[in-house]
Amino acid sequence: MKLNPKQIKHLRKLGHSLSPVVTVADRGLIETVMLAIEEALEFHELIKVKVRLQRDQRLAIYEEICKKTGAHLVQTIGMVLLIYRPTKQAVIDLPGPKLKANGKK
């Protein structure tokens, strides 16, 4: 599933009032941090992650988080990453066409 611009705009609007639930610091993306991100995504679907590293390191961490969790990158602002991963019982209702189980509209 790929997010369309309308869905991204909707998620950015919802993410505006959120605070980061996980912080990645000097030790990097260790197993316990990844576990915390997974749990937060499973519970909330849309979360903010704060990455307190240098810019070039942050970009690599952002990609790694999205790849390992299967989450969609919605937005990055400075040290904060906003990501979305739908759950089986969708908490967030995205605008636009809905996909059926077989992947068709």
> What tens digit of pLDDT does each residue of 60-89 get?
999 999 999 999 999 999 999 999 999 888
Give the predicted TM-score (pTM) of the model.
Answer: 0.86
What does the alpha-carbon distance between residue 75 and residue 98 come to, in Å, rounded to a whole number?
22
What does the alpha-carbon distance between residue 39 and residue 53 come to, in Å, rounded to a whole number?
22
Taking a C-beta distance cutoff of 8 angstroms, is the pair 42, 56 a contact?
Answer: no
Q: Which residues pair with 81 in a beta bridge?
A: 49, 76
Instruction: Say yes or no to pLDDT of 100 above 80.
Output: no
3-state DSSP assignment of residue 96: coil
> What tens digit of pLDDT does each residue of 19-54 get?
999 999 989 899 999 999 999 999 999 999 999 999
Q: For the chain, list the domains and their CATH numbers.
A: 5-84 (3.30.110.60)
